[in-house]
């Protein structure tokens, strides 16, 4: 009852935005504004998780192809804040459903000339038909599965485009322990968070979807991004092998 009461209060506060969303005006505005927001927010977040990302991506070379080249596909590339962690010579395919990120991606690539951009595709993670079966050594997805329409479909596409023995690297914020105050606030904020996070859902059980997917190996751990009281603090990080 308390969750419902607080949700109603937030609904009243955000009534103008809710009305714009119902009229179909909010999404078109936010799609244009979101890349600028992320260009400011992403570096701050990257600083908080720098050690975790550095450790995670340090093993990318392990999955390079027979000739030593690493073919890497990033789902939901955004502004390209992961580029600095990819190894030199990496053959990069970037995908994002929002075409307004293109300028930011190209700008970030200029600062990371150790990478080789092969393709920049406007596509959602649920539909990567422009990427051939078994053509990738690694797929990367960070802070994306919280906002896709179907985690299951994204993971099916990941398995399709990965070669046998390739790896899926992930870092995602997830649902907190159901007995915690963090989870309580996730439930309160969830219906409205999507307006500011480009469809982001605070309480997704992403680990369960990963465990149900037909990976041969799953390496996963939990951690919290400070401050621990914010709804997006609980995270999972790791990689899964096809």
pLDDT of 26 higher than 90: no
pLDDT of 1 higher than 80: no
Q: What's the average model confidence in pLDDT over 192-209?
A: 91
In CATH terms, the superfamily for domain 1-241 is Vaccinia Virus protein VP39 (3.40.50.150)
State the pairing for strand pair 234-241/217-224: antiparallel
Residue 2: CA count within 13 A, CB half-sphere: 4
| Coil, strand or helix at 142 | strand
Q: What is the pLDDT of residue 15?
A: 83
Determine which of 25-29, 54-58, 87-91, 197-201 has the lowest per-residue pLDDT on average.
25-29
Q: What is the pLDDT of residue 109?
A: 96
Q: Tens digits of per-residue pLDDT, 205-231?
A: 999 999 999 999 999 999 999 998 899
Read off the pTM: 0.93
The helices-and-strands tally (H runs, E runs) of the chain is 8, 7
Q: What is the pLDDT of residue 28?
A: 84
Yes or no: say if 185 and 227 are a contact pair by the CB < 8 Å rule: no
Q: What is the pLDDT of residue 211?
A: 97
Residues 147, 150, 152: CA angle, nearest 5 degrees: 125
The domain ranges of the chain are 1-241
């Amino acid at each position: 009852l308390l969750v419902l009461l607080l949700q109603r209060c937030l609904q009243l506060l955000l009534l103008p935005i809710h009305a714009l969303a119902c009229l179909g005006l909010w999404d078109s505005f936010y799609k244009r504004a979101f890349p600028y927001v992320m260009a400011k927010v992403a570096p701050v977040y990257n600083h908080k998780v720098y050690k975790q990302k550095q450790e995670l991506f340090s093993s990318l070379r392990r999955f390079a192809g027979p000739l030593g080249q690493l073919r890497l596909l990033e789902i939901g590339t955004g502004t390209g804040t992961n580029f600095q962690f990819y190894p030199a010579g990496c053959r990069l395919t970037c995908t994002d459903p929002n075409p307004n990120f293109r300028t930011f991606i190209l700008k970030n690539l200029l600062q990371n000339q150790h990478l080789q951009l092969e393709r920049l595709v406007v596509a959602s993670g649920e539909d990567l038909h422009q990427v051939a079966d078994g053509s990738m050594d690694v797929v990367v997805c960070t802070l994306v599965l919280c906002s896709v329409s179907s985690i299951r479909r994204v993971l099916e596409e990941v398995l399709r485009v990965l070669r046998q023995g390739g790896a899926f690297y992930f870092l995602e914020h997830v649902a907190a322990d159901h007995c915690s105050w963090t989870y309580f606030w996730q439930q309160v904020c969830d219906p409205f968070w999507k307006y500011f996070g480009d469809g982001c859902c605070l309480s997704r059980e992403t680990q369960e979807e990963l465990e149900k997917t037909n990976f041969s190996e799953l390496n996963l751990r939990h951690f919290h991004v400070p401050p621990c009281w914010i709804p997006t603090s609980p995270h999972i990080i790791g990689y899964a092998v096809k």
